[in-house]
A and B are shown apart, each in its own frame.
Chain A
């Protein structure tokens, strides 16, 4: 609802500010409206406040009621249902309404050759792809699996990377408990 917050509310604030801070010497800068339009409170024109408030209320009510009525009427006309189907929503509006993709490389793998929507639900398709296969750069896949790309190059410096999926303190603590119980630790640190 940021359209409402930023446009509706901010527009109201701007209109209210006209009542307080409008000044005839700013209005008259165009050389036409000199002395014709009175300012707001700065010019001691205190009734401007309720004029502005009346206008805000009227515009707000009219815009909301008329738009809601219009939307409801259009929604009611056959073939002009406002909302897309649930499948379309799953696949995304790009796929359903346009058939072109602006962000094909993010998150979802699509069937590039098929123009028509794939039949599987995205969640199923997604689960079939290994997390490490989604990155074009080999090192990134390694990092997901908890390997350090630096260590591979022989630059091990003691602060070895434990992978972005793990919490290394948690893993270390877990390993200690496992060692106590005579089990090998997750990272194979037990001797």
Chain B
């Protein structure tokens, strides 16, 4: 929902969320997790929602902002994330919530839940380190916003994988995700649609919503 940042109206966005949850999220969730879903029968491995939650939200945000149009250039002269403390706070809350999200997807207080939490943390840590180093390459500064971005991309990547893969693979997963996601943020300048900080709003606005529709709560 961060796609709405600084240019979208509220009520149409609420209508969109309702329809989206029904017509986009639920069918994809059904594909992979329902016993009769084609994905389940086909043998798709999706632990806590790489398809419905992450790909669904990412691509939907892209589609929504395409319909919405980009922000006006003249109003972005002074563009920057406006409060790094809040970004950090949001990221840390996300990280904490994500442990319930991924750990809870084991459907029980068992060793797999422990492994899922540990895998999530590993991917998040290595994702944030990788992102910071990649940003350092350009700016020669240790970016806190970069840390948050890397952390979240690591957690996202751990979502479909944390209950399946081994801990050492999670380390690789964090690093690879950090690299891939960092370089794909560059694609936004090619797409010319909108700019960063969508993430921040996204984290704070959509995520509680998404959690309610997720498998945990």
A residues with a Cβ closer than 8 A to B are 1-15, 17-23, 26-32, 37-40, 42, 48, 51-52, 54-56, 58-60, 62-68, 70-72, 74-75, 80-84, 86, 89-90, 92-93, 97-98, 103, 106-107
Measured CA separation A89–B75 after assembly (Å): 8
Closest to B196 in A: A2
A56, A59, A93 pick with most chain B CB within 10 angstroms: A59
Given known contacts A3-B62, A6-B58, A55 and B111 CB-to-CB distance under 8 angstroms: no
A70 touches B24 (CB 8 A): yes
A1, A20, A65 pick with most chain B CB within 10 angstroms: A1
The bracket for how many chain B residues form the interface is 35 or more
Q: Which of B27, B32, B67 is within 8 Å of A82, CB to CB?
A: B67
The 10 residue pairs across chains A and B that have the minimum distance between CB atoms: A8-B58, A11-B54, A21-B169, A1-B188, A7-B58, A67-B60, A14-B157, A30-B112, A22-B164, A29-B112
Given known contacts A64-B60, A80-B15, A26 and B165 CB-to-CB distance under 8 angstroms: yes
Asked if B181 is an interface residue, CB under 8 A from chain A, the answer is yes
B46 touches A15 (CB 8 A): yes
Q: Which of B42, B59, B68, B157 is within 8 Å of A83, CB to CB?
A: B68
The 8 A CB mask of B65-92 against A (1 = contact, 0 = none) is 1111101100100100011000000000
Asked if B161 is an interface residue, CB under 8 A from chain A, the answer is yes
B166 touches A64 (CB 8 A): no
Q: Which of B32, B112, B194 is within 8 Å of A1, CB to CB?
A: B194
Closest to A54 in B: B42
Chain A residues whose C-beta falls within 8 Å of the C-beta of B2 in the assembled complex = 3
Closest to A75 in B: B67
19 contacts between A and B (CB under 8 A): A2-B198, A2-B199, A3-B202, A8-B54, A13-B176, A13-B180, A21-B161, A27-B164, A31-B110, A42-B166, A63-B55, A63-B60, A64-B62, A64-B63, A66-B24, A67-B59, A68-B64, A80-B12, A82-B9
